[in-house]
Amino acid sequence: MKAKVHITLKPGVLDPQGTAIGHALGTLGFEGVSGVRQGKFSEFELAETDRERAQAEVRQMCERLLANTVIENYTIDLV
């Protein structure tokens, strides 16, 4: 099973990178872009075959390492 994890800044947490990317997109001529938020993406293979156990395991990985839950949210996709 493959896990795909998206890590994004919580709403309300200032994202200067996202703001800078938004400005750069404007400079390139892409108009009407707003609310750019920069995040992280991780993917990895799991030996676990049970979906529920895999979900619980990846959630632990997010809580303990992959995300800093003070500032970040995460979503997990298993494929």
Partner 1 sequence: MKTAVVVFPGSNCDRDVAVAVEEIFGTKPIMLWHRETALPKIDLVILPGGFSYGDYLRSGAMAAQSPIMQAVKAKAAGGLPVLGICNGFQILTEAGLLPGALMRNRGLKFINRVVTTRVETSQSIYTSRYEAGQVVSIPIAHADGCYYADNATLDRLEAQGQVAFRYVDAAGNATEAANPNGSARNIAGLFNETKTVLGYMPHPERVVDPLFGGTDGRPLFESLIGALS
State the minimum distance, in angstroms, from the CB of residue 72 to partner 1: 9
Q: Residue 68 or 75: which CB sits closer to partner 1?
A: 68
Contact 39, 2 (CB under 8 A): no
Q: How far is the CB of 70 from partner 1 (least distance, A)?
A: 4
Expressed in angstroms, the distance from the first to the final Cα of the chain is 6
- List the one residue from 2, 13, 53, 75 that touches partner 1 (CB under 8 A): 13
State the amino acid at position 66 in one-letter form: L
**The only residue of 46, 61, 71, 76 in contact with partner 1, by rule CB under 8 A:** 71
Tokens of 49: 């075959």
Q: Which residues pair with 10 in a beta bridge?
A: none
